[in-house]
Amino acid sequence: GTLAKSMNVVAHGGRIEFIGVLTQGADTNPWPLLRKTATLHGIYVGSRAMFESMNDGVDLTDTDFTIVDVNGSILRMTGYAKADVVGRNGFDLLKVQDRGRALENFSGLKTRGNYMDINEYSIVLSDGGDLSLEVRTSALYDKDVNLTGFINVFRDISERKQAEEALRQSEERYRLLFESAIDGKAVVDIETKKVVLANETALRMYGFELKADLEAVDIFNFIHPEDRGRLMTAAQGGVM
């Protein structure tokens, strides 16, 4: 119970000193520690069963980022056999365009004394495909605070990435429709009465060449005085 309580109350970026044994159960949940980017120091032993049963992929590397151990989850994510990855440099499994950034991030952990880092990388799968992963990397130290290696926790974020891309494409389609519409279209901030977005047709209608010029004016000045009150009421009610 002591370790679990410490994990729950430790401050963000804090440090826990601990001597004991980690066993399967509530006390072994690492996420309170990882979420707070806190660090656990001391002498502690976890069971192999706990390591293998984690839903997230985990690997251990030495200080040169050579993989020394992995759990079953990361093997299932990537399709590799254990013999395919143990002994390889972890950077070899990343897509080429991510390797330079990963090297810089890991080097920061080594040289700046950071205890934890969170990044997103694409890993090359055994079949040649790729998978987007969130990687939480924690530096490992011995009792004399000498760096001994790193533990990396991998979470599959491919669905989130696909949703983000679908949203980006939807926004791009809307932008193209907005820009190409033959009707003048403008988005107005109801509080400032300033134009925040306008298409080319709206620019021509109001006699402006640059969007910045239209965005600097009070659009209600272009509305006939007899119609301004009605238009403002409709705008405030969300009906235009």
Q: Tens of pLDDT along 66-109?
A: 999 999 999 999 999 999 999 999 999 999 999 999 988 888 77
Alpha-carbon dihedral angle through residues 142, 148, 152, 153, given to the nearest 10 degrees:
-20
For residue 98, the model assigns a pLDDT of 95
pLDDT of 148 higher than 80: yes
Interval 190-218 mean pLDDT? 79
- Higher pLDDT: 203 or 210? It is 203
Question: pTM to 2 decimals?
Answer: 0.57
Gap between the Cα atoms of 180 and 196, Å rounded: 17
Interval 175-183 mean pLDDT? 86
Half-sphere exposure of 53 (CA within 13 A, CB side): 11
The token duo for 52 is 């293998």
Confidence of residue 26 (pLDDT cuts 50, 70, 90): very low
pLDDT of 19 higher than 60: no
Interval 28-52 mean pLDDT? 62
